[in-house]
C-alpha cells in the first residue's frame, strides 16, 4: 500500500530536479525511493501454514488443528502428498459443512484409499477414532454407541466450545486491527497524493512565469539595440548637417580644399557606415541566434516536462486505481460480519494495477502499438461493427474510431478500462466468453483478439472460437495475434515476461484449430521481425541464425466465415 506513495515521491523529486536544472541550480537534489519492512502493507493470516513432516509421519492432532478449507488442503498434502483438485476441494468442503462427515472421517477416507495406502503416510491416533466412527454408522447399535460416546465426551465438548469461542474472538480482533491499520495507510497515501498535486501545480506555475519573464527580457534587449542604432544615425546626420552649414561660409579656396576633404570624408563615411552596418548585422544575427537557442532550450524543457507529467499522470492513475481496489477489498472485509474468510484469491481485480504497470513497461509505447495495428485495417473495412476481446489500453479501438469504424471492447482490468473510457472509447468490464454469448447470431462483422489466446486453456479457446464463428456475419473475419514461438528468443525468454501466459501456440496449431471449427480462407501473417539485431552476411548459416533468433516475433491468424 505504501509503495505507490514512494514511487510518487520519487517521480516528484525527478521533476523538481529537472526544473532546478533549468533555473541554473548547480547541484539539484536527488531523491531515491526506499521501502522498509515497517512501511509495508499489513498482512493478516487467520490459520497457520501447513508444514509437511519430512518423515511422513503425523499425529492426528497435527491435522485436526486446521479448519474448513485449510483443513482440506492440509489433509491432502499430508496424507496424499499433493494438493486437492478443484472438484475434490468443493466436494469435501460441502460434505464437511453439511455435517455428513467430520474431519476424522475425511482423514480415514484419504488414508485408507488406494492412493493413500500407496503413499504410506503414518497417522498416529487415527485408527481408534475412525473405527468408533464406523461403528457409530451401524443401524440401532450405532445410535447407542454414538449416544454413549457423546455422554462420555460431554465435558470435553464444553471445554472445546469455550476454546473455540476464544479462538473466534482472537480472529475478530486480528481482523479489526488489520482493517484499522489499512485505513490509516490509505488516508496517509491520499493526503500525500493531494499534497503532491498542489506542489506540482505550484512548480508548473513558477516555470511558466519564468518562461514569460525570459521572453520579456529578450524583447527588451532587442528594443534597446534598435534605440541605440537610431540614436547613432541621428547623431551622424546632425554632424554632417553641421559640416554642410559651415561649408557655405568658406571662401573659394577653402571650399576647394574643403571639397577635397569632404570627398575623403564621404569615402570614410561610406566605409564607416559599411562597418557599422556589418557590425549591426553581426549583432542582430548573434542576438537572433541567442534568442533561437533559448527558445529551443525552453521548448525542449517544456517537452521534457510534458513527458514527465504524462508519466506521472499514468503512475498517479495506477496509484488511485489501486487505492480504489484496496478500499473496496477492505470495505468488503469490514462488512463481512463474523464469517470473514482468510481466502481472498477470488478477488479478480487484486492484481489490476500490477498487470497495467507490467504492460506499460514491456508492451511498448501507444504510438508504436498503434502503428503496428494499422496492418489489420484493410481486413475489417466495410464489414460492420468490430468486437475487440481483451482490448487492454485501447490502441486498436482508437485506430478503428479514427477510421470511422464502429467498434467496442471488453476487458476485466479496471485500470486499463478507465484509460479507455478517458479516451472516449466504448468498453465494458466483462469476461470475453460472456460477452460473445450475449451477442446474437451473425451480428458482427469482425472479432479481434490481440495476445489473448495464449492466456486461456484449450477448452476455453475452443469455446471462444465456436462463439466467434457463431456471432460473425457471412463473410466476417476473425483476427487473433499471439507471440511466435518459432522465434527462439520469444519461445525461450520473452514469452515468459508476462506471468499470466499459459503456453505458446505454434502458428500451424492455431491455423488447424480455426480450420477445425469451420473457418475458411485462413491466412498466417508473420509480424515484427527484429531487423536491427540481424547479423551481417549472406551465408546459409547466417540466414538461418537470423531467421531463428531475429525473425518474426509475433504472428496473426486471419480466418473468415463462409459467405451466404
**For the chain, what are the domain ranges?**
215-324, 352-560
Residue 35: pLDDT above 70?
Answer: no
Alpha-carbon torsion (117, 118, 122, 123), positive or negative: negative
The pLDDT of residue 197 is 79
Q: How far apart are CA 104 and CA 94, in angstroms?
A: 15
- Cell match 484449450: residue? 458
Q: Bigger pLDDT: 236 or 555?
A: 555
Cα angle 411, 412, 418 (rounded to 5 degrees) comes to 80
C-alpha cell at 470: 457463431
CB 58 within 8 A of CB 123: yes
Polymer length in residues for the chain: 564
Confidence at 175, pLDDT banded by 50, 70, 90:
confident
Confidence at 191, pLDDT banded by 50, 70, 90:
confident
- Cell match 508519466: residue? 311
3-state helix, strand, coil in the chain (%, to 5): 65, 10, 25
Strands 552-560 and 520-529: antiparallel
pLDDT in tens, 485-495: 999 998 888 88
Q: Calculate what percentage of the chain has a pLDDT beyond 90.
A: 34
Phi, psi at 112, each rounded to 5°: -100, 10
- Cell match 498517479: residue? 316
CB 475 within 8 A of CB 563: yes
pLDDT in tens, 499-552: 889 999 999 999 999 999 999 999 999 999 998 888 898 899 888 889 889 999
Alpha-carbon torsion (40, 7, 327, 366), positive or negative: negative
β-bridge partners, 449: 389, 480
For all residues of the chain together, what is the average pLDDT? 80
Q: How far is CA 180 from CA 47, 82, 187, 330, 350, in A?
A: 20, 37, 11, 10, 20
Q: How far is CA 111 from CA 5, 79, 115, 123, 411, in A?
A: 51, 6, 8, 8, 44
HSE (CB half, 13 Å, CA atoms) of 459? Answer: 0
- Cell match 495475434: residue? 481
Name the region of 528 (left: φ>0; alpha: ψ -120 to 50; beta: rest). Answer: left
Q: How far is CA 352 from CA 289, 320, 451, 549, in A?
A: 50, 12, 17, 32
Q: Calculate what percentage of the chain has a pLDDT beyond 70.
A: 77
DSSP letters, 226-294, are HHHHHHHHHHHHHHHHHHHHHHTTS-HHHHHHHHHHHHHHHHHHHHHHHHHHHHHHHHHHHHHHHHHHH
Strand, coil or helix: 328: helix
Q: Bigger pLDDT: 114 or 267?
A: 114
C-alpha cell at 68: 474448513
Q: For the residues 199-225, what does the mean pLDDT come to?
A: 81
Q: How far apart are CA 106 and CA 89, in angstroms?
A: 12
pLDDT in tens, 142-157: 667 767 776 776 777 6
Give the DSSP letter of residue 79: I
Q: How far apart are CA 470 and CA 561, in angstroms?
A: 9
The pLDDT of residue 192 is 83
pLDDT in tens, 375-402: 999 999 989 899 999 999 999 999 999 9
**Nearest residue to 396 (alpha-carbon basis) of 432, 446, 462:** 446
User: Domain 352-560 is in which class?
Assistant: alpha beta
Confidence at 315, pLDDT banded by 50, 70, 90:
low
Residue 254: pLDDT above 80?
Answer: no
The pLDDT of residue 51 is 87
Residue 40: pLDDT above 60?
Answer: no
Confidence at 245, pLDDT banded by 50, 70, 90:
confident
Confidence at 498, pLDDT banded by 50, 70, 90:
confident
Amino acid at each position: 500500500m505504501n509503495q505507490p506513495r514512494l514511487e510518487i515521491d520519487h517521480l516528484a523529486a525527478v521533476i523538481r530536479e529537472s526544473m532546478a536544472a533549468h533555473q541554473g541550480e548547480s547541484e539539484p537534489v536527488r531523491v531515491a525511493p526506499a521501502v522498509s519492512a515497517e512501511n509495508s502493507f499489513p498482512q493478516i493470516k487467520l490459520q497457520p501454514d501447513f508444514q509437511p513432516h519430512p518423515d511422513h509421519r503425523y499425529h492426528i492432532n497435527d491435522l485436526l488443528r486446521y479448519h474448513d478449507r485449510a483443513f482440506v488442503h492440509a489433509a491432502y498434502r499430508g496424507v496424499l502428498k499433493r494438493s486437492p483438485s478443484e472438484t475434490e476441494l468443493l466436494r469435501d468442503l460441502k460434505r464437511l459443512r453439511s455435517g455428513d462427515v467430520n474431519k476424522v472421517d475425511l482423514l480415514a477416507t484419504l488414508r485408507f484409499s488406494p492412493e493413500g495406502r500407496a503413499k504410506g503416510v503414518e497417522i498416529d491416533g487415527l485408527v481408534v477414532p475412525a473405527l468408533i466412527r464406523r461403528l457409530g454408522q451401524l443401524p440401532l447399535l450405532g445410535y447407542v454407541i454414538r449416544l454413549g460416546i457423546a455422554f462420555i465426551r460431554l465435558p470435553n465438548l464444553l471445554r472445546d466450545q469455550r476454546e473455540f469461542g476464544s479462538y473466534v474472538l482472537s480472529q475478530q480482533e486480528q481482523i479489526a486491527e488489520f482493517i484499522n491499520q489499512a485505513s490509516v495507510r490509505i488516508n496517509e497515501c491520499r493526503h500525500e497524493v493531494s499534497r503532491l498535486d498542489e506542489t506540482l501545480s505550484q512548480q508548473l506555475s513558477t516555470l511558466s512565469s519564468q518562461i514569460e519573464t525570459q521572453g520579456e527580457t529578450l524583447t527588451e534587449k532587442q528594443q534597446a539595440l534598435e534605440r541605440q542604432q537610431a540614436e547613432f544615425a541621428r547623431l551622424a546626420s546632425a554632424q554632417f548637417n553641421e559640416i554642410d552649414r559651415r561649408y557655405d561660409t568658406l571662401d573659394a579656396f577653402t571650399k576647394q580644399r574643403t571639397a577635397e576633404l569632404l570627398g575623403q570624408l564621404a569615402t570614410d563615411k561610406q566605409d564607416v557606415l559599411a562597418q557599422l552596418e556589418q557590425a549591426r548585422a553581426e549583432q542582430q544575427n548573434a542576438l537572433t541566434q541567442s534568442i533561437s537557442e533559448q527558445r529551443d532550450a525552453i521548448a525542449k524543457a517544456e517537452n521534457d516536462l510534458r513527458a514527465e507529467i504524462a508519466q506521472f499522470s499514468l503512475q498517479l492513475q495506477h496509484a488511485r486505481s489501486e487505492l480504489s481496489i484496496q478500499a473496496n477489498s477492505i470495505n468488503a472485509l469490514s462488512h463481512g460480519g463474523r464469517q470473514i474468510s482468510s481466502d481472498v484469491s477470488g478477488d479478480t481485480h487484486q492484481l489490476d494495477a500490477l498487470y497495467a504497470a507490467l504492460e506499460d513497461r514491456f508492451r511498448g509505447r501507444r504510438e508504436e502499438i498503434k502503428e503496428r495495428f494499422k496492418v489489420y485495417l484493410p481486413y475489417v473495412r466495410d464489414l460492420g461493427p468490430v468486437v475487440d476481446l481483451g482490448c487492454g489500453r485501447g490502441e486498436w479501438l482508437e485506430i478503428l474510431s479514427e477510421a470511422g469504424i464502429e467498434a467496442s471492447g471488453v476487458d476485466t482490468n479496471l485500470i486499463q478500462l478507465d484509460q479507455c473510457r478517458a479516451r472516449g472509447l466504448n468498453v465494458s468490464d466483462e469476461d470475453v466468453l460472456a460477452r460473445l454469448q450475449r451477442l446474437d447470431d451473425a451480428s458482427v462483422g469482425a472479432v479481434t483478439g490481440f495476445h489473448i489466446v495464449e492466456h486461456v486453456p484449450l477448452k476455453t479457446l475452443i469455446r471462444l472460437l465456436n462463439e466467434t464463428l457463431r456471432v460473425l456475419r457471412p463473410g466476417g473475419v476473425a483476427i487473433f495475434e499471439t507471440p511466435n514461438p518459432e522465434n527462439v528468443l520469444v519461445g525461450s525468454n520473452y514469452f515468459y515476461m508476462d506471468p499470466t501466459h499459459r503456453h505458446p501456440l505454434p502458428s500451424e496449431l492455431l491455423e488447424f484449430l480455426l480450420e477445425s471449427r469451420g473457418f475458411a480462407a485462413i491466412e498466417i501473417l508473420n509480424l515484427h521481425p527484429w531487423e536491427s539485431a540481424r547479423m551481417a552476411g549472406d551465408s546459409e548459416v547466417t540466414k538461418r541464425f537470423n531467421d531463428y533468433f531475429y525473425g518474426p516475433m509475433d504472428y496473426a491468424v486471419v480466418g473468415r466465415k463462409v459467405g451466404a
